[in-house]
Amino acid sequence: MEYLHPKYFKWIHILSKFLGIIIILYGIFIIIQNFPSIIGPVPGLASILLGVYLYKSGMEAGRLLRSDRKSKQALEEMLKYYGLFLMINGLLFIAAIILYIISICI
């Protein structure tokens, strides 16, 4: 995997960790803001989960860099966590569209 340029993994490492922390903090804020409600904290929990997956993706990118891009396991874990991040984002997007269509029809 020496053909993979380290500059891109460094950016993934830095930005994913930073944005993961920001998204986690946003989720905590949403939970605190909507705490008395039963359904209100759900978006906050989703944000925390998204932030954790993005943060873990960045951590694995850092592990890949430390291994001089030779750790196949770190690359697979990074892609796994990023894939989970994208999948959950996609599911939330589909749910938002469905709820929007339902709200229009009612």
pLDDT in tens, 23-72: 999 999 999 999 888 888 999 999 999 999 999 999 999 999 999 888 89
Alpha carbons 79 and 30: distance in angstroms, whole number: 28
Domain assignment present for residue 1? The answer is no
| Number of independent structural domains in the chain | 1
Query: Which residue has 């904290």 as its token pair?
Result: 41
Query: Which residue has 């994913």 as its token pair?
Result: 16
In the predicted model, is pLDDT for residue 79 greater than 90? yes
Domain of residue 23 covers: 6-105
Domain assignment present for residue 36? The answer is yes
Domain assignment present for residue 17? The answer is yes
Alpha carbons 21 and 52: distance in angstroms, whole number: 8
Domain assignment present for residue 71? The answer is yes
